[in-house]
Amino acid sequence: MDFIKDDGGRDKYFPLRYKKDYTGDCVIRAIAIATYTDYKRVWDALFELGHKMGHLPNDERVYEKYLSQIGWKKHKPIRKSNGRKYQVKNLPIDDGSYIFITQRHVTAITEREHRDTWNCGNWCANSYYKLAE
């Protein structure tokens, strides 16, 4: 799977001059990329929902509820025949959009391309979200 550097549209709204400017928004960025939605629109929706729920926008309870509201479903990790999980870069997935959770990160895959500001392809892919069919 190819890795493509993608900030999800953050650069249209916020400066990305330094490495520190790329941190802390992986949930917003992954959702914007995977849903083909404007970064600021996702930002606003997650902040509003988080405010109502009393949690930060990158809290799993917030983004799980948001994704559910827009028709995405959470799935268990994809496992190999020996029961082990795949690395992000080796996932056996179909075309389409996915949001994968790793140990401390959320990342997007669209049309078999891993899109993020940095390559977490060596990390273990845990649960994931996909548009419900």
The answer to whether the pTM exceeds 0.85 is: yes
Taking the C-alpha atoms of residue 66 and residue 86, their distance in angstroms, rounded to an integer, is 26
pLDDT, position 15:
80
Q: What is the pLDDT of residue 49?
A: 98
Domains contained in the chain, number? 1
Residue 81, pLDDT score: 96
Domain span at residue 59 reads 2-131
Top pLDDT among 74 and 21 is at 74
Contact by Cβ (8 Å): 62, 50: yes
